[in-house]
Chain A
Amino acid sequence: MNRFKSIFVAVALSAASLAPALAAETHGPVPARLNWSFAGPFGTFDRGQIQRGFRVYREVCAACHSLSLLSFRNLGEPGGPEFSEGQVKALAADYKIKDFDDKGEPVEREGRPADRFPKLFANAEAAAATHGAAPPDLSVIAKARSYSRGFPLFLLDALPGMAYQEHGVDYIVALLNGYTKADDPNWNEYYPGHAIKMGKPLSDGQVDYTDGSPKTVAQYSRDVSAFLMWAAEPHLEQRKRTGLNVMIFLIVFAGLLYFTKKRIWADAH
């Protein structure tokens, strides 16, 4: 039996060493893996960071990208940027929402916390006609973008202690910093095919931070990515917190069942 085991190990190892070589030629550069406060089993969002990130979204990204799956009220809910009720109201009121008055006439009114972020275009065709390509909605973009780490790394990404779920945000940061050809604002190192319709969106000093954080592209890109992660997964903190309780319970429960099983089977042998 041991002889066969060693054969399997040999086959598995040779497959493991061959696969990345086969895979490497089809993939572009791999985004750097960054440290995020929300990574790992105990991760939580950095409120200051996602508040700044929202500011970047609002002052820069929102010109072209909608956020239509979110409501203004989400910005004040626990586990997110946690803006105050007054801030959320004021923020919502800055937006014009299409609605109907009591006579059924279309009107534009001030936004309320319960409203969704408005769509910027009626449909993708209209957006494409204006921008050349339809700018994607950013509500779930942090989960909708990823990249392949290849075999066998992708297996490790699922493991406790090594779990890596932040491919999307790492990619967005890399992309926002990937405009490395000074003479071509539409060339991006990390965009598949490199020719990106979105010209370099961020520049140093563009967004005013009041908390003393550096006003650099590096900082902006991280903050807005963290914000987009929250936008895509607003219950991330609750999920991880619940997970901890569930795990503790299940481990204790499995332990109890193990000893119960031993006790019951003791007289069967």
Chain B
Amino acid sequence: MSGHSTYVPSSAIARWFESRLPIIGLMHGSFVSYPTPRNLNYMWTFGAILSFMMVAQIITGIVLAMHYTPHVSMAFASVEHIMRDVNWGWFLRYAHANGASMFFVAVYMHMMRGLYYGSYKAPREILWILGVIIFLLMMATAFMGYVLPWGQMSFWGASVITNLFSAIPLVGSAITTWLWGGYSVDNPTLNRFFSLHYLLPFMLVGVVVLHVWALHVVGQNNPAGVEVKNVKRDTVPFTPYATVKDSFALAVFLIFFSWFIFYVPNYLGHADNYIEANPLVTPSHIVPEWYFLPFYAILRAIPSKLGGVMAMFGSIAILAFLPWLDTSKVKSAAYRPVYRVFFWAFVLTCVGLGYLGAMPAEGGYVIASRILTFYYFAFFIMILPLLGIFETPKPVPATIADAVLAKHGAHAMQPAE
């Protein structure tokens, strides 16, 4: 988190403490005096929103674990016990279940912003890769959390996803048996998933600390995509400027979040998960949670088992190589008119894959999934490397301050826009 701190201990006690453990100075340098580019837009508030969601999930999760029983014969009933008997239990559970979705809403916005403004480019490669690791940990945590209520979707989702590993040649079935702790998803599986669901968020916190540290070393990217040249002209201190802006954005996000908790709490879930797990009956139509749907669609688009699994994991792994796949010298899509088109097409592709992931794997849906899967990979492997060579970017402002002035000037000339 480092950064240069302007913190000066004001009392003798504070000086004594600071010379032994300079944590107040570290916090001050990271969250008070830390310079943020003055031209950040509201897409940059999702970092703070994500931090909030992570803490909210951990707190509601710890509290729910006080009432939950990770045993196949009691898990379903213990969740209903939380919903019915525990004081405010319904609120805590709905906040946690919908909170997972909100966490993903925020992370997808955060990733989209990074992709649009080229936040993965030098010198932010490590920052970006840490972000990909966070995303993977989030997915693992969310998947295991979804198993815990031990409904039909929990059970069959767990079966399908753990069976992915059986696609690995030679050792696949041994690995799957090892993951299960038996010959099928059963009590040992539920127990270890509960343990890991509790552990992974704390690993996530660790990687988030690294992510923020890396961010504070290289500084934030910004809509202009040019680096800070003059701290005084180009930046404002994190507190109060970014703090108050993030707080406002968070409050608006909480309105959105609360709507789900209090008025449509089961909208993002699946009705079948209110049926207790039954290892003998598969629901007619298994769908993962919405945030996994694009990857699920990629899995099903490939006609071979191993191929599908590789494509699915590849679609996430490829993100880690993004800093080197994009050859453009210009960061921000604001100055890359052609990239912008491909970017929005990529966003629509992800939404489309999400829709297809929820549809049955048959007929036209499969064909559409294949086309979109092709575009998904082509975007990274073909379009981004080539675009850097053939695209002519618009002139980039010399400094952040220039970008701010240009924007305000434009407003002055064309008030109608």
Interface residues of A (CB under 8 A from B): 1, 4, 8, 11-12, 15, 19, 22-23, 26, 41, 69-70, 74, 124, 136, 139-141, 143-146, 151, 157-158, 160, 163, 165, 167-168, 192, 232, 234-235, 238-240, 242-244, 246-247, 250-251, 253-254, 257-258, 260-261, 264-265, 268-269
Nearest B residue to A192, CB-CB: B284
Main secondary structure of the interface of A (DSSP, over half): helix
Q: Which of B333-376 contact A (CB under 8 A)?
A: 340-341, 344, 348, 352, 355, 359-360, 363-365
Query: Is the pair B271, A146 in contact by a Cβ cutoff of 8 Å?
Result: yes
Query: Is the pair B264, A163 in contact by a Cβ cutoff of 8 Å?
Result: yes
With A250-B254, A257-B244 known as contacts, the answer to whether A158 contacts B262 (CB < 8 A) is: no
Bound-complex Cα distance A238 to B254 (A): 19
Query: Is the pair A261, B91 in contact by a Cβ cutoff of 8 Å?
Result: no
CB distance from A75 to the nearest CB of B (A): 13
Query: Is the pair A239, B90 in contact by a Cβ cutoff of 8 Å?
Result: yes
Query: Is the pair A265, B241 in contact by a Cβ cutoff of 8 Å?
Result: yes
With A165-B264, A192-B284 known as contacts, the answer to whether A254 contacts B84 (CB < 8 A) is: no
Query: Is the pair A69, B348 in contact by a Cβ cutoff of 8 Å?
Result: no
Residues of B within 8 A of A260 (CB): 244, 248
Query: Is the pair B38, A253 in contact by a Cβ cutoff of 8 Å?
Result: no
With A239-B90, A239-B262 known as contacts, the answer to whether A11 contacts B355 (CB < 8 A) is: no
Nearest A residue to B364, CB-CB: A22
Q: How large is the interface on B (under 10, 10 to 19, 20 to 34, 35 or more residues)?
A: 35 or more
Residues of A within 8 A of B329 (CB): none
- B301 at interface (Cβ–Cβ under 8 A)? no
Query: Is the pair A8, B271 in contact by a Cβ cutoff of 8 Å?
Result: no
- B220 at interface (Cβ–Cβ under 8 A)? no
Residues of A within 8 A of B284 (CB): 192
- B251 at interface (Cβ–Cβ under 8 A)? yes
Residues of B within 8 A of A258 (CB): 248
Query: Is the pair B245, A250 in contact by a Cβ cutoff of 8 Å?
Result: no
Query: Is the pair A269, B408 in contact by a Cβ cutoff of 8 Å?
Result: yes
CB distance from A44 to the nearest CB of B (A): 14
Query: Is the pair B84, A69 in contact by a Cβ cutoff of 8 Å?
Result: yes
Residues of B within 8 A of A23 (CB): 359
Partner of A234, one of B84, B348, B404: B84
CB distance from B341 to the nearest CB of A (A): 5
Query: Is the pair B255, A254 in contact by a Cβ cutoff of 8 Å?
Result: yes
Residues of B within 8 A of A146 (CB): 271
Nearest A residue to B85, CB-CB: A71
With A192-B284, A254-B251 known as contacts, the answer to whether A235 contacts B83 (CB < 8 A) is: yes
- B219 at interface (Cβ–Cβ under 8 A)? no
Residues of A within 8 A of B255 (CB): 247, 250-251, 254
Bound-complex Cα distance A54 to B365 (A): 44
Residues of A within 8 A of B360 (CB): 26
CB distance from A167 to the nearest CB of B (A): 8
Residues of A within 8 A of B261 (CB): 243
- B183 at interface (Cβ–Cβ under 8 A)? no
Partner of A144, one of B263, B272, B278: B272
Query: Is the pair B244, A264 in contact by a Cβ cutoff of 8 Å?
Result: yes
Q: What are the interface flags for B231-268 relative to A under an 8 Å C-beta threshold, 1 for contact and 0 otherwise?
A: 00000100011001101100110110011111111110
Query: Is the pair B263, A240 in contact by a Cβ cutoff of 8 Å?
Result: yes
Query: Is the pair A243, B262 in contact by a Cβ cutoff of 8 Å?
Result: yes
Bound-complex Cα distance A108 to B332 (A): 74
CB distance from A20 to the nearest CB of B (A): 12
Bound-complex Cα distance A178 to B245 (A): 55
With A144-B272, A239-B262 known as contacts, the answer to whether A264 contacts B83 (CB < 8 A) is: no
- B275 at interface (Cβ–Cβ under 8 A)? yes
Bound-complex Cα distance A12 to B349 (A): 11
Bound-complex Cα distance A146 to B283 (A): 13
**Could you show 27 A-B contacts with beta carbons less than 8 Å apart?**
A4-B341, A4-B344, A15-B355, A26-B360, A136-B275, A143-B274, A151-B355, A158-B264, A165-B266, A167-B271, A234-B84, A239-B265, A244-B262, A247-B259, A250-B254, A254-B248, A254-B254, A254-B255, A257-B244, A258-B248, A260-B244, A261-B245, A261-B247, A261-B248, A264-B241, A264-B244, A269-B408
